[in-house]
Amino acid sequence: MEGVKVENLTIGYGEPLVSGLSFHMKEGEFWVVVGPNGTGKSTLIKTLLGIIKPISGRILIHGKNCTSWCEERKYLSYVPQMENYSRSFPSTVFELVLSGLFPRLGRFQKIGKEEVEEVNRWLKVLELSPLKNRKFNQLSGGQQRKVLIARALVSSPHYIFLDEPTNGVDLKSSRKILKLLDRLHKEKGFGICMVTHEISTVWQYIDKVILLGYGGKFFIGNKEEILNPALLSEIYEIEVEIARTEAGPIFLIWDKH
């Protein structure tokens, strides 16, 4: 499959945030979108998902023009920021994961045995089976993230987009989530595109990087090309150095002033 291809894309809400984006996310690759707050990271993935309309440019999925709605979007799944989910969300874990099938089935199609088995399979894979009848709002932050990941995966996507999936969870849960995503994407062959601020934590998993900066600046390429001290210092407007360790690089930052 050809994955997701972007041609000369301009994104924003009326006024452009970033213009001239062109890149090709192939299936099976692990991409991250990084940069300071307010530079368009979430806007970019919402535009790729069709939640926000692009100002100009083209988005192709499997070679088909999906700049507006198209059926190929059913192959893209989304794990939004936790702030988009109410803490008082009334659904059970099973019900919430099951809702991930609605784009594929349609909301009014009867749920059958096959769909129930698919939900239970993903609950087992993500070690959520004991929690299937618990209310979503009764879970810990790390457990809630895993439920939303299961919801995204149950529809057998070719690409999964995640907006800061480890934000607000403890380090142990964060590493578990990243290891799980890495294992599943290698086993199942789907691609990942993740918005994150945790560069050191995700380094070992990354294939490609989109780095967004203020004033519409952007850089796209392999992680070794993009995540270097000079470029990061320019974009974040802070001093960045990299300490090399056996586990991978650690990015050290401090204020220029």
Phi and psi torsions of 219, nearest 5° = -140, 140
State the Cα–Cα distance between residues 158 and 185, nearest whole angstrom.
10
pLDDT at 257: 47
Total residues belonging to the chain? 257
Q: Taking the model in full, what pTM does it have?
A: 0.89
The pair of structure tokens assigned to 33 is 């979108």
Q: Are 41 and 32 in contact (CB under 8 A)?
A: no
Phi and psi torsions of 82, nearest 5° = -60, -25
pLDDT at 254: 58
State the Cα–Cα distance between residues 225 and 221, nearest whole angstrom.
6
Phi and psi torsions of 27, nearest 5° = -65, 140
Q: Are 17 and 39 in contact (CB under 8 A)?
A: yes
pLDDT at 90: 79
pLDDT at 193: 96
Where are the strands (E) in 196-247, listed by range?
208-212, 218-222, 239-245
Instruction: Give the tens place of pLDDT for each residue, 114-159.
Output: 888 999 999 998 889 999 999 998 888 888 888 999 999 998 899 9
Element holding 193 (H helix, E strand) = strand 191-195
pLDDT at 102: 78
Which domains does the chain possess? 4-254 (3.40.50.300)
In the chain the first and final C-alpha atoms are separated, in Å, by 48
pLDDT at 244: 82
Q: Is the Cα torsion angle 14, 15, 20, 25 positive or negative in sign? A: negative
The three-class DSSP label of residue 140 is coil
pLDDT at 188: 87
pLDDT < 70: residue spans in the chain: 1, 83-89, 103-109, 253-257
pLDDT at 54: 95
